[in-house]
Chain A
Amino acid sequence: MKNRTKYFAYPYVLWIFLFIALPAFLVLLYSITTKESNGLTTIHFTLENFKKFFQPMYLNILWDSIYLAAISTIICLILGYPAALIISRAHVSKRNTLLFLCILPMWMNMLLRTYAWMTILGNNGILNNIFAFLGLPRFNMLYTRGATVMGMVYNFIPFMILPIYTALSKMDKALLEAADDLGADKRTVFRKVIFPLSMPGVISGIIMVFMPAVSTFIIPQLLGGNKSMMIGNLVEKLFILNGDWNFGSAISIVMMLIILLSMSIMNKFDVDKEGGARLW
């Protein structure tokens, strides 16, 4: 008897081909051809687009993107780990409420959420009005790099909390008792057992925050103004304003390679090869 269930996978295979593989191939094709080659007969292959990217101006934008995304990821980790720990230790009845609160902002459109921050951080925004009310000077908070980082942390922190929470809540309680039994006080139990065992969750969290953060364009555009041009903004500008699809595609390919590389490096750190809380 042939296994017929495999036919159920065909629609998705078709989907992958049409909407993932084919576009990725087109991006690759655009990145290695010249702008003038519009027909199949006049196609011109070139590496000029990649060469152009390795100019200080563009490299700075790349570096800046990685820098801001890294800062956001670190802040997400610092804020998210304790949150995940508290949720995982909460009583079962409270745990779901806390998780729900974590995910609730994601029910709203990301654009809307980011706009909301504009009205909070703006010169005549809520925060500055409060400062004025208290007799403090107004701060220029919107359109700064800080605002961009703030927006990224706000938007992506659930992606840090959830995998860490999963890793922590799956941990066998007997392991903590065993460590306690062997003479470890609370801090040592955390340092020697809880934290190392939650590493798969931490790594998943880092990847899941860093990836969207490094390529986001809406957050720096709305909250960072022209102060922080990130790689996503550059790609958007090249496609929408300049109409330079070839150079835009080349940058996208470079970004894909960087993300692929950082993911494989992160996976090297992930010692837990089976089970664990890996999402990848």
Chain B
Amino acid sequence: MNNAIIQLNNITKKFDGEIVLDDITLSVKENEFVTFLGPSGCGKTTTLRIIGGFETPDEGEVYFDGKLINDVPPFKRQLNTVFQKYALFPHLNVFENIAFGLRIKKMDEKTISEKVEKMLELFNLKNYGKRRIDQLSGGQQQRIAIARALVNEPKVLLLDEPLGALDLKLRKEMQHELKAMQKQLGITFIYVTHDQEEALTMSDTIIVMNEGIIQQMGTPIDIYNEPENAFVADFIGESNILDGIMIDDYLVEFLGKRFECLDSGFGRGEEVDVVIRPEDLDLTPAGEGKLEGIVKSVTFKGVHYEMDIVANNFEFLVHSTDMAPVGTTVGLTLTPDDIHIMEKGE
């Protein structure tokens, strides 16, 4: 059973007859930071809840450390969850919230207070033990929710969109804090988010899901650079997706022009999706590029300009540090490794 701590085999789940998870098989290695990424309703939270024990799968097996745990209730599972809206106990103060799990294990008072104090220190909440939950900011509540789970020293920590309610700056900070903590503590993190940037920043492995099906599993770099289908390409970062025809291996035609590419193995004349990242398109003076277009709009985005450029009746999204004013004609160039060929969906 190699070193998989969580293994899901052919998990299927229906709600009111509607399939939310369709034959999910995946495994999570020990000490890995795995992210389930997908739009809302893709089944990522349901998968997490099945691992946590809050939902039972209709079909398939859930293994924890090699043992089948389909029928093990949550309170007997050696994992802890950080809930979406924190779910801190409003009738208990910060200290007692964190101590909750330890008290249930009937630890002695001294051990409890040592462990809780250690957590408070780790999360920069040293003098907050006596505070009421509603006296804390969102970021502090967030950290207490994580502390409350981690103090039990679980083998696996499940996190359900834990940063969703925080503002952008705090979210960025917490992303780094969480990643650092995961490395330091050596605990397996299973993280659910719909934010592709968050997934790319933090994960060792990303599992992209849509409509109850795993679309792609891989490292952030693989997923970004080598998306397996148009959905992944579109969901992970922005993309221009065009209809193309494979002329031969390493040669594709779209927008009436032929381009060299790095893909092979498709049938001759096969219809394919061509994915081009907005940042891979380079602006050149008119007449020098392979494609020629008119700038429709320009938006300043801080680091780069976002431009809509219409070429051969296709509206390209282009990210570039160069800028061409609206209405001008520009050329667009592409190198073979900027072109990603994918099988047509459906």
A residues with a Cβ closer than 8 A to B are: 172, 174-175, 177-185, 188, 192-193, 196-197, 199, 271-272, 274
Bound together, the chains give a CA A188 to CA B85 distance in angstroms of: 22
26 contacts across the A-B interface (CB closer than 8 A): A172-B87, A174-B84, A174-B85, A175-B89, A177-B74, A178-B81, A178-B87, A178-B88, A179-B89, A180-B75, A181-B52, A181-B54, A181-B74, A182-B80, A182-B104, A182-B148, A183-B75, A183-B76, A183-B101, A183-B104, A188-B104, A192-B100, A196-B91, A197-B91, A199-B91, A274-B134
- Contact count A vs B, C-beta below 8 Å: 65
- A179 — which chain B residues lie within 8 A by C-beta? 89, 100
Q: How far is the CA of A175 from the CA of B85 in the complex (A)?
A: 10
Question: Which chain A residue shows the least CB distance to B79?
Answer: A181
Q: Is the CB of A181 within 8 A of B75?
A: yes
CB distance from B43 to the nearest CB of A (A): 18
| A178 x B105 contact (CB < 8 A) | no
- B74 nearest CB neighbor, chain A only: A180
Binding site for A on B (CB under 8 A): 52-54, 73-76, 80-81, 83-85, 87-91, 100-101, 104-105, 134, 148-149, 152
Let me know if A174 and B91 touch, CB within 8 A: no
**Contacts beyond the supplied A177-B74, A180-B54, A180-B73: 15 A-B pairs with Cβ under 8 Å:** A174-B84, A174-B85, A175-B87, A179-B89, A180-B53, A180-B75, A181-B54, A181-B80, A181-B81, A182-B75, A183-B75, A185-B75, A193-B89, A271-B91, A272-B91
Check A177–B54 contact: CB distance below 8 A. Answer: yes
Do the beta carbons of A174 and B101 come within 8 Å of each other?
no
Q: Which residues of B contact A197 (CB under 8 A)?
A: 89-91
Chain B residues lying within 8 Å of A174, measured Cβ to Cβ, are: 83-85, 87
A276 to chain B, nearest CB (A): 9
Neighbouring B residues of A196 by C-beta, 8 Å: 91
Q: Is the CB of A182 within 8 A of B91?
A: no
Q: CA–CA, A193 to B91, complex, Å? A: 8
Determine the distance from Cα of A192 to Cα of B148 in the docked complex, in whole angstroms: 15
Name the A residues within 8 Å of B89 (CB-CB). Answer: 175, 178-179, 193, 197
Expressed in whole angstroms, the Cα–Cα distance for A174 and B88 within the complex equals 9
Whole-angstrom distance from the CB of A182 to the nearest CB of chain B? 4
Report the separation of the CA atoms of residues A175 and B84 in the bound assembly, to the nearest whole angstrom: 11
A271 to B88, CA, bound (A): 16
Closest to B134 in A: A274
For residue A225, give the distance in angstroms from its CB to the closest CB of chain B: 45
Complex: how many Å from CA A185 to CA B53? 13
Closest Cβ of chain B: how far from A169's Cβ, in Å? 16
Report the bound CA distance from A14 to B112 in whole Å. 59
- A182 near B90 with CB under 8 A, answer no
Query: A192: which B residues are within 8 A, CB to CB?
Result: 100, 104
Which residues of chain A have C-beta atoms less than 8 A from B101's C-beta? 182-183
A204 to B89, CA, bound (A): 21
- Nearest first, the 8 closest Cβ-Cβ pairs linking A and B are A174-B87, A182-B101, A178-B87, A180-B74, A183-B104, A181-B81, A196-B91, A183-B75
| Residues of A close to B149: CB separation below 8 A | 181-182
A178 → chain B closest CB, angstroms: 4
- Give A186 to B170 CA distance when docked, in angstroms: 36
Q: Which of A172, A180, A271, A274 has the most CB of B within 10 A?
A: A180
Name the B residues within 8 Å of A177 (CB-CB): 54, 74, 81, 83, 87
CB-CB < 8 A to B83: which residues of A? 174, 177-178
CA distance A274 to B132 in the complex (A): 12
Residue of B nearest to A176 (CB): B87
Question: How many Å lie between the Cα of A182 and that of B100 in the bound state?
Answer: 7
Contacts of A183 in B (CB 8 A): 75-76, 101, 104-105, 152
| Known contacts A177-B54, A180-B74: A272-B90 contact under CB 8 Å | yes
Q: How far is the CB of B101 from chain A (nearest CB, A)?
A: 4
Q: Whole-angstrom distance between the alpha carbons of A197 and B75 in the complex?
A: 20
Kindly state the separation between the CA atoms of A274 and B90 in the bound complex, as whole angstroms.
10
The verdict on A184 contacting B85 (CB below 8 Å), with A196-B91, A197-B90, A272-B91 known, is no
Cβ of B148: which chain A residues have Cβ within 8 Å of it? 178, 182
| Distance (whole angstroms) from the CB of A64 to the closest CB of chain B | 36
Select one of A175, A182, A193, A272 contacting B152, CB under 8 A: A182
